[in-house]
């Protein structure tokens, strides 16, 4: 399953991946915090949409990603 950067506010266009809390190969549960991202207004947690194993991280810490972009994959 793809993990996408959600839109938390009307004016939000992108966010910076501040920190990953998981690595490829880690088992995760639904709702677990995968990453912390920073917007111009708030720091927020991106949560796992399902349980599984992290297959791929598509953004690195420090990367700016657009709303709706796939940032990770869970298998």
- Across residues 18-41, what is the average pLDDT? 97
- Across residues 44-58, what is the average pLDDT? 97
The pLDDT value given to residue 9: 83
**Six-digit token string for 61:** 């810490």
The pLDDT value given to residue 35: 98
HSE (side-chain half, CA atoms, 13 Å) at 31: 0
Question: So where are the chain's domains?
Answer: 2-74
- Residue from 12, 75, 23 nearest 34 by CA: 23
pLDDT cut 70: percent of the chain above it: 100
Pick the CATH number of 2-74 from 2.40.50.100, 1.20.1070.10, 3.30.1060.10, 3.30.70.100: 2.40.50.100
- Across residues 18-32, what is the average pLDDT? 98
């Amino acid at each position: 399953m793809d993990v996408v950067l959600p839109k938390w506010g009307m004016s939000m266009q992108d966010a910076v991946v501040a920190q990953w809390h998981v690595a490829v190969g880690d088992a995760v549960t639904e709702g677990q915090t995968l990453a912390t991202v920073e917007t111009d207004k708030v720091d927020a947690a991106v949560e796992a949409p399902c349980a599984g194993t992290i297959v791929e991280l598509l953004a690195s810490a420090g990367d700016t990603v657009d709303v709706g972009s796939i940032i990770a994959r869970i298998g």
